[in-house]
């Protein structure tokens, strides 16, 4: 997908992952990658329902992200098309059973491009407020779109991912996460945490750590969360948060002259 880009910007990226405590799956179900050189980052969340069949879906999500990372190893920023990368990574992930949601974000010039499938996603914060936020793709409550092992039934296609293009500016903050973040932290609270971090000149990895820590804390407390609200809207009885693996990547957009 050829696109004209304007100002030459770049993302400074940091990440933090807190797996759900499970002795049988110490690595959890989430996976992520990022590349400053290729200006791309991604998350995947293995669908936990596979555990009922004795399958660790985290193996699928980790392989999916590893294949994505391998595919961009020699790419320049303007070369990365997230939708094409998601399809290619899916086609190369054939060795293990399981399924996963996925969201891949890249920056080319001042254009952010993304492919989002399922209930992982990202938001762009500009001037302290949300400028853009993805909508979860779900068949029904807590049943997200997903890609996975090709011999599985009821598994979707990477082409079902939402193909997103939007302009970004210097100072924008991109928060990319699995549903463990967005199920447990309201949009306005993410804005507040990012704002406080910016006031203290925290680097992206510290922002990611604080957001992930807040998500885990909220998931374990008896307090209203986005997951509880969504459950109520779906007619499902659930109170509090959703204890889950939490992966957060934060990218601060700056002029490339100040980058690495």
Pairing of strands 246-255, 9-18: antiparallel
pTM score, whole prediction = 0.94
pLDDT tens profile 84-97: 999 999 999 988 99
Looking at residue 1, its pLDDT comes to 44
pLDDT on residue 105: 98
Q: Is the pLDDT of residue 114 over 90?
A: yes
Q: Exposed/middle/buried for 21, CB within 10 Å: 0-12, 13-18, 19+? A: exposed
Mean pLDDT of the chain: 93
Quote the pLDDT of residue 95. 82
Structural element, H or E, at residue 208 = helix 204-219
Instruction: Kindly indicate the confidence band of residue 5, based on its pLDDT and cuts at 50, 70 and 90.
Output: low
Report pLDDT for 52. 86
Q: What percentage of the chain exceeds 70 in pLDDT?
A: 94
Over residues 140-147, mean pLDDT: 93
Tens-place pLDDT, residues 202-257: 999 999 999 999 999 999 998 999 999 999 999 998 999 999 999 999 999 999 86
What local confidence, expressed as pLDDT, does residue 256 receive? 80
Structural domains in the chain plus CATH codes: 9-258 (3.60.40.10)
Which secondary structure element, helix H or strand E, spans residue 17, and what is its range?
strand 9-18
State CA 163 to chain mean position distance: 14
Q: How confident is the model at residue 35 (pLDDT cuts 50, 70, 90)?
A: very high
User: Does residue 101 contact residue 146 with C-beta atoms inside 8 Å?
Assistant: yes
Q: Is it the case that residue 125 has pLDDT exceeding 80?
A: yes
């Amino acid at each position: 997908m050829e696109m004209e880009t304007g100002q030459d910007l770049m993302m400074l990226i940091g990440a933090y992952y807190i797996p759900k405590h499970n002795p049988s799956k110490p690595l959890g179900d989430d996976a992520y990658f990022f590349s400053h050189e290729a200006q791309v980052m991604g998350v995947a969340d293995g669908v936990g329902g596979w555990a009922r069949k004795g399958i660790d879906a985290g193996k699928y999500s980790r392989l999916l992200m590893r294949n994505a990372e391998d595919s961009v190893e020699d790419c320049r920023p303007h070369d990365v098309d997230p939708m094409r990368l998601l399809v290619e990574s899916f086609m190369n992930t054939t060795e293990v059973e399981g399924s996963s949601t996925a969201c891949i974000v890249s920056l080319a010039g001042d254009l952010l491009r993304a492919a989002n499938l399922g209930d992982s996603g990202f938001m762009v914060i500009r001037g302290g407020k949300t400028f853009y936020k993805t909508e979860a793709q779900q068949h029904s409550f807590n049943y997200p779109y997903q890609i996975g092992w090709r011999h599985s039934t009821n598994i979707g296609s990477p082409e079902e991912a939402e193909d997103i293009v939007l302009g970004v500016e210097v100072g924008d903050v991109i928060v990319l996460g699995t549903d463990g973040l967005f199920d447990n932290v309201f949009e306005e609270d993410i804005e507040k945490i990012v704002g406080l971090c910016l006031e203290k000149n925290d680097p992206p990895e510290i922002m990611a750590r604080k957001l992930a820590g807040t998500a885990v804390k909220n998931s374990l407390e008896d307090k209203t969360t986005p997951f509880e609200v969504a459950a109520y809207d779906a007619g499902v009885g659930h109170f509090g948060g959703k204890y889950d693996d939490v992966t957060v990547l934060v990218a601060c957009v700056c002029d490339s002259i100040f980058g690495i």
